[in-house]
Amino acid sequence: MRTSLSALRKKLANGRKLSMLTCYDAGFARVLDEAGIDTLLIGDSLGMVVQGRDSTLPVTIQDIAYHTACVVRGAANAFVLADMPFGSYQESPAQALHNAVILMQAGAQMVKLEGGAEIAPSIELLTRSGIPVCGHIGLMPSHVHALGGFRVQGKETADADRIVADAQAVEAAGAAMLVIEAVPDAVARRVCNDTTLMTIGIGASAACDGQVLVLHDMLGLTHSPAKFVKNYMVDVSGGGDAVLQAARRYAQEVESGVFPGAEHVYGLTSGSVAGLYG
């Protein structure tokens, strides 16, 4: 039976953390489902890892809808979360609703939008329309050109304060879940403490309610992965089901809080350049 939002909440209430991986096709969806991954995210990262582009910006709502339908056909159990790509929601709440409907009709159970207080009216309309929403703050990859690169966010106190305020705005607008990407551990902990959202970290903190990684990163397919990536293919033995074993180990390590370790999170002060790799 397909996992519901309330089933995710129940798992958390029982003291187990939530595992999430990105997924873009039916073949991987079937294996990740068998491995017990709680949530499959059809991320706009597909622009980079599937389409070979150097950012997520060219990804369209049709791209996400297509891959969402593929994942839904492959996975019978996992909760399915789909990204709203760059330009598909920033114009107006009406535009956000129009495009979120496309993803829900493709089989998503929740949609994810990058942004803070400035997109609160859109989050409000979606949730009032019965569409569960996941926010995404910290490093927002669709802002890569404004940021001048993929960098750790929130190292300055003012930036950290803004990230916490944005998380609270996203919560007040009705979101149920929040991805926190590439911020110092201490900043992620503030977000976790100051909101009641289900928090999902990537380069954030072990204190989050769950973790997400890009599938290609955790399978060791990425040329120079960020510090927050753990390659789960390193320790699998040769049984012919290496991907299943890797995904299973990831699910277990997230559930029990073993991943992320100290080597996967950022400090507030380490390194003057807030790159993702150090």
Query: Does position 83 bind Na ion by CB under 5 A?
Result: yes
End-to-end CA distance of the chain: 41
* Dist. CA 71–CA 2, nearest whole Å: 13
Q: Which is nearer to Na ion, 135 or 260 (CB)?
A: 135
CB 125 within 8 A of CB 96: yes
Q: Taking CB under 6 A as the rule, does residue 214 contact ligand KIV?
A: yes
Q: Is 203 in the site for Na ion (CB under 5 A)?
A: no
SS3 168: helix
Decide whether 139 or 239 has the Cβ nearer to ligand KIV.
Answer: 139
Partner that binds at residue 204, options ligand KIV, Na ion, none, CB closer than 5 to 8 Å by kind: none
Report the b/e string of 80-110 with b at 16+ CB within 10 A. Answer: bbbbbbbebbbeebeebbebbebbbebbbbb
CA distance 159 to 177: 21
Residue 230 and residue 254 in contact, taking contact as beta carbons nearer than 8 Å: no
> Is residue 175 near ligand KIV by the rule CB under 6 A?
no
H/E stretch holding 34 reads helix 26-34
Residue closer to ligand KIV, measured from CB, 177 or 214: 214
Out of 43, 116, 135, 184, point to the residue binding Na ion (CB under 5 A): 43
Report the residue from 23, 40, 102, 179 that binds ligand KIV according to the rule CB under 6 A.
179
- Taking CB under 6 A as the criterion, which residues in 20-39 touch ligand KIV? 22
- Among 38, 44, 166, 253, the residue binding ligand KIV under the rule CB under 6 A is 44
263 catalytic residue (yes or no): no
Which residue numbers belong to the known binding site? 44-45, 83, 112, 114
Name the site residues for ligand KIV (rule: CB under 6 A).
22, 41, 43-45, 83, 179, 181, 202, 212, 214
